[in-house]
Structure 1
Amino acid sequence: MDTDVISAAIDFGLQKLSFTEIKINQRKVVESFLAGKDVFFCSPTGSGKSLTFEIAPFVFKYLQKNDMCIVLVISPLTSLMRTQTQALNRKGIKAPNKSSLGDVKEGKIDIIFSSPESLIGHERKLLLDLAKKNFIKTVFVDEAHCIKKFGLPDKKKKKLAYRPCYGRLDEIRSLVGGHVPVVALTATATEETKAVIKKQLCMDNCSEIMVNPDKKNVTYWVHNLPSDDICTNFRWLVNLLRGYKQATSRMIIFFRQIKHMADVYEYLETSLKHDAYIDFKEGGPNDNRNRLFDMFHMKTDDDVKDFICTSYMNPNGNIRVVLCSTSFSMGLDVKGVDTVIHYGPANDVDDYVQESGRAGREPSQQCNAILLTYKRCLGSQNIFPSMKEYVKSKTCRRAFILNIFKTIVEHAHIPHFCCDICRLSCKCACSCEDECVCTNTCNQVLPKINTAIMSNEDNDDSDDNDDNDITELDDMFSSDSDSDVLESSTRKPQVIYSSDDEMF
């Protein structure tokens, strides 16, 4: 296809989206699927992967001189689909909800968001009808790492797949026709993950566009907490919210156990009382709309989820801290987050990089990815050996992560901005020509969030995370879901319009 024609089609799409330019890698994706090729696109959180499917219907309309051009986006979460649909509708892009299914059948829609369960289930006939009419031009699998994470059984542990339809996406490929290109989008993918995704999507000869996962503006830290008492371990957060209130640095805290999330939420409410709210009103109402923190998990009300998402898409939103499950790591356009905290390690390095990538969406913003470990937190059988090695590593954490992804550090980092290990060897304040005699070799002030957390720590150097010292945990199931949400943290069930089940 002529490059000038492709450029004109892309310019047409950018104009429709009110954008002025497209990045090189985004353009490569568009050029590949226009050539009928499958694409594997791996690029860090916040790098603009969604533009590739937002622009797709318009480049096809321009090239084919036909308005009946639909792009199918397979997504894991209804909250994500709902947020994306609302954002696109505000731009004048036709993305359906329940009331517009008639338009879908007639091809009068630009983008369809749906889950694997819906497409393989009750939307199967609709998909076939659209394919027969040649309306579907490209299939995008957003958050494609979910294929490996949720779609396949664990034969070693004799566990069934959590979302088996994610392991059946090849059926969707057969439904829409082999001529329709498939684009897999993900922020992280090891060689193993990439191989699984390509195999499950039957992407035998695809274009691979891989972007270095190194987020240079994120500093990696591990803090070993001496206690397993949830109140003791989060006393620093109470002090931080009480002291800084709405000026508290915006942060996301991921939990591996829903019980821990509920306990911290209750502890914050009980401890902060009136200080939990902005402009507390004696007569009320005081709720999530003026509270400094909230929870995001499967049982969270739709309206609360929407409010959290809206607040976090606004750099000046009221909510400063979100306690969440892994679902908040996927696709949402969160802004102004300068700290991502994990209470306990992620299952694997893939997940950890995906989730910590919520920080530092603005390259000029120096951010922190902090992993808090507590007694016996490495005891879960669901944690991969590589993640345990990361926690215990005595060498550069950034280099450890990038080695997992077969990538090297492209540019030297200032040691105190790299990780807690490299910070120890930083000599940015040293001017000695020969042997260093400085009492202080680094002049970088410790971030206030780290200072607050470290105020909870004692100097006990014992190995609190010894794998051999394991007691029975309230173990989350293998995919870090919200399956065991406590009654105390339950709000009304999720109402779903584009998926059979809310999975997270």
Structure 2
Amino acid sequence: MKMLVSLSSSIYQSKMASYEKVVQLFKVELKDKQKEILDSILGKRHTLAVLPTGYGKSLPYQMFVPAMRERLGEREETPKVVVCCPLVALMEDQVNRLNGVAGLRVEYKGNSAEGDERIKAGDVDIIFASPEALVGDPQWRSYIQKLNVGLLVIDEFHTIATWGGDETDEEEVVFRRWFRHVGEFRTLHPSATVLALSATCTTKIKNRVMKVMCLKSSDINFVSVSPDKPNIKLCVKKIDHDIASAMYWLVSAGNSSILPKILIYCKSIADVANVFHYLHSELDNKSQIEMFHSETPSEKKKFIIEQLSRSDSEVKIIVATSALGMGIDIACCHSVILYGPPTSIVDFVQELGRVGRDGQPSSAIILYSSQHKRRVDKDVRQFLDSKDCRRRNLLSHFLEELTNCIQNDSHVCCDICEVKCNCGRCEKTELETLLEINECVECEDVVEDSDTDTDLYYNEDELSDDGFYASLDDMGI
């Protein structure tokens, strides 16, 4: 018995020593869930992890290679990590971060001819690539099949369902059909461990992803943290359809005071252009505003992402489609405006979670018109029409195990809870102060809502957006 205890203690000490070396390499402290994920994948256990935006979902797979080197030493070749990634902007951000880690060789397919050759030669530890390259390109399939791959990461796995479409959809109508075939990669490396990561996961998406990846519930270690971001107050305001009446208050604020950093998400490139040009023409300081979408030149994208990572950025307003933000670190930003809510609840939570990553009080203001409302799904419309706590309504659509820790309603929860709050200590965020959002709910109670539950309709020109109709060339695919 003493021998078993001694052996167990030795293994534990060895494991902790390995952790310490890897943590020192990355200069971070691992959170409990990050440790759980790293332990799981090092133990060759397939893992599905749902962690909030800004939590650090990527860190476990980034640590996989150096942790395996510590375990294997010189005995065996360290297995490689292949990350199936949906957007080039996300790949660039991850590669730029990891290039500063000593001894770690990182590249993404399509970055450069030299980088592609290093991947083919097996000289890269962590390889980022799109589903179109991993399973849709026969040549690249053959190159990667020859490599010693120990871990397959599906980053932002919800895109399997949202971009790959439902299994009943015809391939010709889905946004990016190769997302529904990512599971084929497992036939190339059947012994590789699967790690699927996302900030959002409904029951439907979980079932879809597990089916695509050919996984059973018994095969999966499910690691989760509630998607609730209690520091982000949810506010809704109905607006007229014209941009001037929806955004005049932002112009007044920008021309009279110091603006906080604000992200404005739009549903289409057309909306981004219209909102940007209105604000740019009205704001005195033109350098305060930029726009970001799939057709934005690469150098401009890099500039904006760099500005977003700085707390002292001179750029204060970024008008963007969903191409901006998925997995990108956005520093010191506590204000987001959704000009027209995303089509689905999953995209909704993704965009809301791109602010307040430091835990500081933040606000998300959803501006919507009758036309916007007709183009969203039933769940989003229920959120907009909610007469009770918006946070509870939003989280009710997610897995039960993710939503059972919602706190009691309070004024910091949403605009509806604030109206019902009698604490006398309510404080508004910077963005709320600018918009005077406290009048929102009372106004909506008075104004007759002409919206109906008629069938949704879509104008493809208006929705040629990175969320569903993005340019594949721009993504590097």
TM-score of the aligned structures, taking structure 2 as reference length: 0.87
Matches within 5 A, 1:378-393: 378-380=373-375, 383-393=376-386
Return 5+ residue gaps in structure 1 as ranges. 278-290, 430-442, 485-492
2:129 is aligned with what amino acid? S
Structure 1 residue 159: Cα displacement: 6.5
SS in 2 for 1:330: coil
Question: Are the equivalent residues in 2 in contact too, given 1:9–1:63 (CA < 8 A)?
Answer: yes
Structure 1 residue 124: Cα displacement: 1.1
Q: Does 1:296 align with 2:296?
A: no
In 1, Cα distance between equivalents of 2:456 and 2:165 = 28
Q: 1:80 aligns with which of 77, 87, 90?
A: 90
In 2, Cα distance between equivalents of 1:123 and 1:172 = 11
Q: Deviations over 1:438-466 (max 9, x none)?
A: xxxxx424334234335898946120433
Matches within 5 A, 1:24-423: 24-65=32-73, 66=76, 68-92=78-102, 93-96=104-107, 97-98=111-112, 99-120=114-135, 121=137, 122-130=139-147, 135-153=148-166, 155=168, 160-175=173-188, 177-204=189-216, 205-225=219-239, 227-244=240-257, 247-272=258-283, 275-277=284-286, 291-363=287-359, 365-380=360-375, 383-405=376-398, 406=400, 407-408=402-403, 410=405, 412-413=407-408, 415-423=410-418
Question: Are the equivalent residues in 2 in contact too, given 1:300–1:494 (CA < 8 A)?
Answer: no
2:290 is aligned with what amino acid? D
Q: Identity of counterpart residues, as a percentage?
A: 27
Q: 1:234 to 1:332 in 2, by over 3 A?
A: same
Stretch deviating more after TM superposition (41-50 or 454-463): 454-463
Q: Deviations over 1:117-137 (max 9, x none)?
A: 11121421211111xxxx211
Structure 1 residue 414: Cα displacement: 6.4
Q: Does 1:476 align with 2:463?
A: yes
Stretch deviating more after TM superposition (446-455 or 8-17): 446-455
- RMSD (Å), alpha carbons: 2.6
1:184 is aligned with what amino acid? A
Structure 1 residue 362: Cα displacement: 0.9
Structure 1 residue 467: Cα displacement: 3.8
Q: 1:478 to 1:159 in 2, by over 3 A?
A: farther
Q: Deviations over 1:240-268 (max 9, x none)?
A: 22223xx3111211111222211111111
Structure 1 residue 68: Cα displacement: 3.9
Count of residue correspondences: 450
Structure 1 residue 317: Cα displacement: 1.3
Question: Are the equivalent residues in 2 in contact too, given 1:149–1:479 (CA < 8 A)?
Answer: no
In 1, Cα distance between equivalents of 2:367 and 2:167 = 28
Question: Are the equivalent residues in 2 in contact too, given 1:326–1:481 (CA < 8 A)?
Answer: no
1:75 is aligned with what amino acid? C
Q: 1:62 to 1:301 in 2, by over 3 A?
A: same
In 1, Cα distance between equivalents of 2:160 and 2:297 = 26
Question: Are the equivalent residues in 2 in contact too, given 1:293–1:321 (CA < 8 A)?
Answer: yes
In 1, Cα distance between equivalents of 2:370 and 2:171 = 27
Residue 426 of structure 1 corresponds to 421
Structure 1 residue 397: Cα displacement: 0.7
Q: 1:464 to 1:314 in 2, by over 3 A?
A: farther
Stretch deviating more after TM superposition (158-167 or 56-65): 158-167
Residue 439 of structure 1 corresponds to none
Question: Are the equivalent residues in 2 in contact too, given 1:94–1:109 (CA < 8 A)?
Answer: yes
Return 5+ residue gaps in structure 2 as ranges. 1-7
Q: 1:4 to 1:137 in 2, by over 3 A?
A: farther
Q: 1:415 to 1:409 in 2, by over 3 A?
A: farther
In 2, Cα distance between equivalents of 1:388 and 1:7 = 49
Q: Deviations over 1:287-341 (max 9, x none)?
A: xxxx211111110010111111111011111211111111213000111110121
In 2, Cα distance between equivalents of 1:181 and 1:10 = 20
Structure 1 residue 409: Cα displacement: 5.7
Question: Are the equivalent residues in 1 in contact too, given 2:391–2:413 (CA < 8 A)?
Answer: yes
Residue 5 of structure 2 corresponds to none
1:86 is aligned with what amino acid? N
Q: Does 1:13 align with 2:38?
A: no
Question: Are the equivalent residues in 2 in contact too, given 1:95–1:109 (CA < 8 A)?
Answer: yes
Structure 1 residue 404: Cα displacement: 1.3
2:302 is aligned with what amino acid? D
In 1, Cα distance between equivalents of 2:169 and 2:180 = 17
Structure 1 residue 475: Cα displacement: 4.3
Stretch deviating more after TM superposition (135-144 or 39-48): 135-144
In 2, Cα distance between equivalents of 1:128 and 1:158 = 25
Q: 1:481 to 1:395 in 2, by over 3 A?
A: same
1:39 is aligned with what amino acid? T
SS in 1 for 2:175: coil
In 1, Cα distance between equivalents of 2:57 and 2:470 = 29
Question: Are the equivalent residues in 2 in contact too, given 1:313–1:333 (CA < 8 A)?
Answer: yes
1:128 is aligned with what amino acid? Q
In 2, Cα distance between equivalents of 1:403 and 1:428 = 26
SS in 1 for 2:272: helix
TM-score of the aligned structures, taking structure 1 as reference length: 0.83
1:183 is aligned with what amino acid? L
Q: 1:57 to 1:483 in 2, by over 3 A?
A: closer
Q: 1:466 aligns with which of 442, 452, 455?
A: 452
Q: Deviations over 1:188-236 (max 9, x none)?
A: 10111111111111222110001111111111111111x1111211111
SS in 2 for 1:329: coil
